[in-house]
Chain A
Amino acid sequence: MSVSSSPALDAIVIGAGHNGLTNAAYLAKAGLKVVVLEKNDYIGGAAVSRELHEGFTYSNCSYMCSMMRQAIHRDLNLSRHGLILVPYLGTVNSGDGDERLISYHDETAAYLELKRHSPHDADAMHRFQADLTRYSQLIRKTLLRTPPDPARLRPRDISELLFLAKQFWSMGEAQIYEYIRFFTMSAAEFLDDYFENDLIKAAMATPGIIGTALGVCSPGSAYVLLHHVMGDVDGNIGAWGLARGGMGAISNALAGAVREHGGEIRTQAGVRQVLVKNRRATGVVLDNGDQLSARIVVSNLDAKRTFTRIMDASDLPDGIREKADNFKIRGSSGKVNIALSALPKFTGVPDNPYVNRGGQAFSGSMETLERAYDCWKRGRWSDDPFVESVIPSAWDPTVAPPGQHWMSNFIQYCPPQLADGPWTAEKRDQFGQTVVNKIERYSPGFKDLILHMEVRTPHEIEQEIGLTEGNIFQGELTLDQLFFNRPFPGYGQYRMPVRNLYMCGSSTHPGGGVSATCGANAAREILLDLRRPNSVPEDDFFDE
């Protein structure tokens, strides 16, 4: 065992997920000596590319990129470090039966397709998109900023509150009210304001449930919907993209930025404990017993893991352990990654390369979506779950052998604990089979194309990448855990209850998604505390 002598390091970042890497990159860029510690033998956390079947590269957790802030992308030169984002061309939504709703980028085609289902909704779509854009513009302004603490009211908190108030009031009376409504209502109610056709509603509702333990009828799911559509990959709000080479390309590019600025990344270096002396974090103990000390420690783990797994209860002030225990981090999603011998054909979808390059969302009806949630509440998965399928190899030839394809399937809902006992390999495979059966319903012969399949329930996601309960957001996105309440009231500014300890993961504002904002925001606060010049860029907006 080696004990390094005192602060050779300025900062230790625990966890090489994309936020940890972003945080380290900015700290290194500001001249700090930083090391990132990763328990796995690969970096990236949930943004990874892994060859789990020969010749196929799976983005086996996160599979789509939309929220990545462009300001960070440019500032860290991620393109130079190998990140290429290709636009995602939209989805075919399937109803419970034969109905299909195809999304087109071409405005006329999109309009005509909607009109085929409901002329009313085709017209309402303009209003819907305009409103969503307006809502997301305000939220986007808060992404790369530190939330104010409304109870403390130091000058900085006040100026931040005033900034928000100004943005808020500038929307005008009607919009303010609509905005408040939007924040608290369910996706179903929100969509009822616009649409009448059930398939269109279901198609639009699915972003409201992805990754969350809420249903389309649960108040609060409208915000989750927005959280998913406020990205702007190519400057267009709501646009989604795919990383060439898989989501690992994002992590690799961030790692490149860390190294460029002199930071170090160590894999197979799981942290057993954060060392605390006199209520100050002083370093960490690794799984292998090594100790590392540093001026500050930054945890990219979720709030629950940080305070219940790698911290000693006696090192924490009263009440923090309870807050961590009460932190809502509910696993609700599953993932099935499939290697295919050929591109599958879907019934009722025109056999046209433009359409088939999009993803397939088997959203069914609003009732199907809600019933799937009811199953989750009862500790089982639905026989008819929501499945969002994307075939990245249709855009990106690097992830599958020529002529063959890999298909990412995201499933909502999948419970973290089953009512009938713990997850077993057998139950996991049954879950995978449910998903395959559902796809087969829409693509006869699909099963025959399968070369390899990886099934991931919340259990696997937690075991492999350390997301508690497999929650992809590191904590539910409900109002009690958003903004200055995230992760806990009073700790919304990245500083944690032990001095020199920070958090930089999705458990902090603004929450989940491959956005890199949590890591960047935390870096800004750390640099402020260490009296270093800020290296984190301000956000820029395309709408102004």
Chain B
Amino acid sequence: MNRYDVAIVGAGHNGLVCASYLARAGRRVLVLEAGQAPGGLAAGREFHPGFRASVAHTVSHFSAKVVRQLDLRKHGFGHSSPNLKTIGLDRDGNHVVLDGDVLSSTAAADAEAFAGYRERMTRFANALQPFWLKTAPAIGSAGLAGSMRGVPPRAPRLKAPSMTFAHMGYRLRRLGKREMREFLRVATLPARDLMDECFQSDVVKATLSWDGLVGSRLAPRSPNGAVLAMLYRMGEASGGAHAVPAGGIDSLVGSLCAAARAAGADIRCGAAVRRILIGERHADGARNGSHPASDGLAVQGVELDSGERIEADCVVSSADPQRTFLDLVGVPFLDIGFTNRIRRLRCQGLVAKLHLALDGVPEFDGLESPDGRMIIAPGLDAMEFAFDAAKYGECPENPVMEMVVPSLHDPSLAPAGQQVLSAHVMYVPYRRKRGWSDTARHAARERAIDTIAQYAPRIRDQIVACEFLTPADIERECHVTGGHWHHTEFAIDQMLMMRPTYQAAQYRTPIPGLYLCGAGCHPGGDLTGAPGHNAAREILQ
């Protein structure tokens, strides 16, 4: 039986980031990955001989701090492509092009309005930016609430949350009276209302809403989540612009693995964890000083599918919360209320993945080169109506999607002269009303290709091979419940100190020694490295 200080479940990017930090702090770390390759949703897959793609196809707000601290550049994280232009495709060829701070559109008024909109959103995003890399404050009885009741709180727990709250209040107040008020109004606005207030063109509105909605169970009319998602994605220096790193997403995963290994961590692929071993806590077992003695349980290690057991003082799960608690820990070790809250997390993804192997560069009408991030969403209604179908477990007649041709930026993804087109197709339900069959998957795939063909008429002739992953397929292939990008819905009621749920929102869990470090923790999903970074800090405390 092997012994480690820390066993990390899952070699997704957050698990790897966490592993690097812990190994650098001198912990003996083992990362266990169920798949044959590391990377999770960012793992490269050869979907057709010579053609590679991954579920995550661009990087937009990966933490610059993590890149710096883990020396990812030195470990092969290539200089990225120039920031991709975001292109809102228009049936008549009047495409909307979003390039940094400039929006080009045939609707001149929109281009003008964009400057003010962008400036304001940037200001809001900057105000929130520091908090994505902080631990969300707990507002428990041991913290502020206790102090307000006059109960002297234990110093370390009071300090952190009240400081974070005060800091947040200060950052917002520093926006100025008017802007703070505007923030408090705009923060919960549906994307549609925000767009209607600022812009006129349908394609502009839909294109700019995209980053607030993609990956979530939200439509343009849904309040309470979209704007925060937009601001989250604008948080890094890139301002939300997407890029394909040199060497593709693989280079990011590769550099994370290299960094972790260089720091001394072991990574084992094809080593699925069957369960997290939990035993009685020994009298001298208060290894994690920060944890109050609670239910007498403590983590002992993990057991693999092969039956092999690995002993560890500390287990960190980068798997999603439902998989972690319901499958790997098991309900007998959890309080019923906690279990119920984990069960109720909304974890059903709505994004399917389409990979096309093409024999040449796809030609989009009115577009010089498909080297940007192209969005097919003719308007907010089109998005809303696509979502409506998914609500009832049906595939939308007219899906909306985001496409990139990553092989234009990273030629290694396809054989010479050939290309890969990678698309996030929304809104495809995880649970289809009549179940996912090959026929259903085929029909959904054809609808998606037909939709692309409306903008790139020759596309069908160029297709060499294709792959379509429904959220259910992504669940199976990438070991993520519901195939959900964020592991669990990124919405206000599942954010900050409620992500994934209270009592597990500061990366610690009710079980001493068990931590979370995946997208199901604050701040959330996408390739950011933030949850892994934050979790490592809490573990080392």
Binding site for B on A (CB under 8 A): 149-152, 165-166, 169-170, 172-174, 176-177, 180-185, 189, 192-193, 214, 217-220, 326, 328, 367, 370-371, 374, 377-378, 478-481, 484-485, 488-490
Contacts and interface: CB of A to CB of B under 8 A. Distances in A.
Nearest to A171: B145
30 contacts: A150-B181, A151-B178, A166-B148, A174-B337, A182-B493, A183-B493, A184-B224, A184-B492, A185-B491, A189-B346, A189-B493, A193-B344, A214-B223, A218-B223, A219-B218, A219-B222, A219-B491, A220-B188, A220-B224, A326-B196, A326-B197, A374-B388, A377-B221, A478-B190, A478-B224, A480-B187, A480-B189, A484-B184, A489-B181, A490-B177
A328 B145 contact: no
Contacts of A170: 149
Contact of B225 (A150, A177, A182, A219): A219
A479 B224 contact: yes
B498 A180 contact: yes
Interface string B213-233: 000001001111100000000
Given A165-B148, A172-B141, A184-B493, A479 B177 contact: no
A152 B392 CA distance: 45
Interface string B172-196: 0100011011101111111001001
B140 A173 contact: yes
Contact of B139 (A150, A173, A182, A219): A173
Contacts of B222: 218-219
B13 to A, nearest CB: 28
Contacts of B337: 174
Nearest to A192: B344
A267 B189 CA distance: 39
B492 A490 contact: no
Contacts of A173: 139-141, 145, 502
B42 interface: no
A148 to B, nearest CB: 12
B316 interface: no
Contact of B498 (A166, A181, A218): A181
Given A169-B145, A480-B223, A184 B139 contact: no
A150 B168 CA distance: 13
B141 A180 contact: no
Contact of A176 (B139, B491, B492): B139
B384 interface: yes
The 10 closest A-B pairs by CB, nearest first: A489-B181, A181-B493, A184-B492, A479-B188, A169-B145, A219-B224, A173-B140, A177-B502, A220-B223, A151-B177
A43 B217 CA distance: 45
Given A151-B177, A177-B498, A169 B491 contact: no
Nearest to A374: B388
B68 to A, nearest CB: 34
B184 A485 contact: yes
B23 interface: no
B144 interface: yes
Contacts of B218: 219
B391 interface: yes
Nearest to A150: B184
Nearest to A193: B344
Contacts of A377: 221, 381, 384-385, 388
Q: By CB atoms of chain A within 10 A, which of B221, B344, B493 has the most?
A: B493
Interface in B452-493: 491-493
A192 B337 CA distance: 15
A156 B307 CA distance: 65
B391 A184 contact: no
Contact of A479 (B145, B223, B491): B223
Contacts of A185: 491, 493
Given A151-B177, A217-B391, A180 B493 contact: yes
A408 to B, nearest CB: 29
Interface in B326-381: 337, 344, 346, 381
Contacts of A177: 139, 497-498, 501-502
Q: By CB atoms of chain A within 10 A, which of B148, B385, B501 has the most?
A: B148
A218 B502 contact: no
Contacts of A489: 181-182, 184-185
Contacts of B224: 184, 219-220, 478-479
B384 A184 contact: no
A220 B218 CA distance: 12
A173 B143 CA distance: 10
A192 B148 CA distance: 34
B185 A480 contact: yes
Contacts of B190: 478
A157 to B, nearest CB: 12
A172 B492 CA distance: 20
Nearest to A177: B502
Nearest to B505: A177
A174 B344 contact: no
A377 B502 CA distance: 35
Q: By CB atoms of chain A within 10 A, which of B144, B178, B181, B392 has the most?
A: B181
A150 B188 contact: no
Q: By CB atoms of chain A within 10 A, which of B144, B184, B381 has the most?
A: B184
Contacts of B344: 189, 192-193
Given A480-B186, A480-B188, A219 B384 contact: no
Given A219-B223, A220-B223, A367 B392 contact: yes
A218 B145 contact: no
Contact of A478 (B188, B196, B391): B188
A193 B501 CA distance: 14
Given A166-B148, A374-B388, A485-B181, 12 more contacts: A149-B181, A150-B181, A151-B173, A152-B177, A176-B139, A177-B498, A177-B502, A189-B344, A189-B493, A218-B221, A328-B193, A480-B223
